Structure 1
Amino acid sequence: MKRFSRKAPAREPGTIMIVVTEGEKTEPGYLKAFKEIHVPTHIKKSVFNLRIIPGIGVPKTVVDRAIQELQDLQGPLSGKDSVWAMFDRDEHPEFEGAKDKARNKGIHLVVSNPCFEIWGIYHYQDWEGHIERGQCQKRLEELCPSYGRNSGKIFIDRDAIENRYRDAMRRAKESLNSREKEGDPEGNPSTSVHRLINAILSKVEELKSKNHARR
C-alpha cells in the first residue's frame, strides 16, 4: 500500500514581522494599539503579519526565542521577514552578551534605558537627565493616567499613539544622538523603539503603494 506524505501548507507571499518582548503587558499593549491604529484593515494578515510574542523574560531568553523564531521562518520567501528582540537595560547581568548574540544571528534590537516607559514619556515631552526605572514609570503615570498601577501599567493613550508618535520618534533619535556624543551610545536615558516603529510604517507605506499601483 502506497503511503502519501502530508505536505506542509504553502506559505502566502507576504511579509512577517515578529517582535519578541521582555514585558508581558506594557510593550505588547502599546504595539497592539499602534498596529490597530496605523496598519490599515485592507492590508490583510496574509500581506503583512505583525506578530507580537510577549513576556519572554530577561534579554538572554528574549534573544534565544527571537533566534528560534527566525530559524522557523527560514525559506524561499523569508527575505522580506524580520525578527525583533525588545528589552530594557535595567541591571541584567547578561545584557551585553544578549545584544552580541542577537546581532550575530541577524536579530534586530530594540533597547530602552532604563525601561520602555521612556518611549512613552517621549510622546509628551523631552527628557535628557538620568532617570531610574521607578521614576520613569511614575512620570509616565503623571502624563498618562491610564498607565496607572490599577490598569496594569499599560500605555494605550490612543490620542498619543495616533498623533504624537512622530514626536516620540524625534525625541528618541535625539536621545541616542546625545548619548553617542557622550560616549555611551545606549546610555540613560535612551531608546531605539523608533527604529521598530519606522520599520512598521515603512512596510505599510510600501504595501499601500503596491496596492495603489495595481488599481
Structure 2
Amino acid sequence: MARDNSPKVRQRQQLERKLARRASHDRILIVSEGSKTEPHYFGEIRQTYRLHTANVEVRSSELGTAPAQVVRYARELFEFGNMHKSIQPRAFEQVYAVFDRDDHDSYFEALEMAESLDGKLKNDNKQFVRFQAVASVPSFELWLLLHYENIQAPIHRDDVMRRLKIAIPGYEKGARHAFSSTRQHLSVATRRAQALAARFDARSAPEPFTAIVDLVDLLTRLRPEK
C-alpha cells in the first residue's frame, strides 16, 4: 500500500517527532524587553545545554520595551500563541517576563501585573502556570558585571556599562557570546546576585538587584534531551 506523503501528513509527523523529543521538564516561555541582548544570552544558554525549543522558547516583546508592555506581550503570547512562529496557545508551564528598571514609568505596574497573573492562568494541560517578572535594577548588564565585580550599592546603568566594557573589552548591547564570555565566572556571579537578593528585591530600587540569576539557574539545571 502506498504511503501517504502529503504535506499535511508530513507536517503532522514532524510535530509528533518534535513532541516525542520533548524532555520531561516544564515548558518555559521567556519574553524579554531587549530584542537582542537577552534573547542572545538565553539563546546561547539553550544552545550550550542543548535545550530543545519545545521546552525553552525565547522571544522579545513585540508590543514595546516598557515593562508593562513586556508583561502584556508575555501574557498574549502564552494565551494565543503565534502560529507563524510555531508557538501553540497555552503550551507552557512557566512564563517569564524579563525587563529592566532603568527609568521606566511602568516598572512597578509591571511587577504588580506579573504577580497578579502568577498561578491564575491555565495551560493546555489545565494546570495553573507560573508567571514571573525577572527584573534587574538598574539593567540586565548588572548581572554580567557581577561576574567581575561585587556590586552591593546603587549604580547607574551608564556606570554599569562603562565598567562592563572594561571587564569585557568591546562589549555592546546586543552583543553575542555574552554567556560564553562570562561562563567561567558564573558561580561567583551567582553568589553575588544571591547576596543582593538577601538584602534587596525588585521593589527596592535604586538598590541593585537582579532576578536573572534565578532564571539562569533554572535553565542551567535542565538536563539535555536523551
Tell me the residue number matched to 1:26.
Answer: 37
1:147 aligned onto 2:171: yes
1:44 Cα deviation (Å)?
A: 4.1
Task: Say which is worse superposed, 27-36 or 120-129, in terms of deviation.
Answer: 27-36
Q: 1:92 aligns with which of 104, 113, 132?
A: 104
Q: Give me the whole-angstrom Cα distance separating, in 1, the residues matched to 2:60 and 2:33.
A: 9
Cα 1:159–1:66 change in 2 (3 A) is: closer
Q: Give me the whole-angstrom Cα distance separating, in 1, the residues matched to 2:96 and 2:52.
A: 21
Task: Say which is worse superposed, 65-74 or 134-143, in terms of deviation.
Answer: 65-74
Q: Is the 8 A contact 1:16 1:51 kept in 2?
A: no
Q: 2:183 aligns with which of 153, 162, 170?
A: 162
Tell me the residue number matched to 2:144.
Answer: 120
Q: State the TM-score, normalized to the length of structure 2.
A: 0.72
Q: 1:62 aligns with which of 65, 70, 74?
A: 70
Find runs of 4+ consecutive structure 1 residues off by over 4 angstroms: 8-11, 183-187
1:138 aligned onto 2:162: yes
1:87 Cα deviation (Å)?
A: 0.4
Q: Give me the whole-angstrom Cα distance separating, in 2, the residues matched to 1:74 and 1:44.
A: 18
Provide structure 1 residue ranges, at least 5 long, that are not aligned to the other structure: 1-5
Q: Give me the whole-angstrom Cα distance separating, in 2, the residues matched to 1:160 and 1:178.
A: 28
Cα 1:159–1:95 change in 2 (3 A) is: closer
Q: State the TM-score, normalized to the length of structure 1.
A: 0.75
Q: Secondary structure at the match of 2:188?
A: helix
Q: How many residues align?
A: 190
| Identity percentage of aligned residues | 22
Cα 1:168–1:122 change in 2 (3 A) is: same
Letter in 1 for 2:100: D
Q: Secondary structure at the match of 1:110?
A: strand
Q: Is the 8 A contact 1:176 1:185 kept in 2?
A: no
RMSD: 2.9
CA offset digits 1:51-80 (Å, max 9, x no partner): 2325741101100000012213555xx4x6
Letter in 2 for 1:19: I
More helix by share: 1
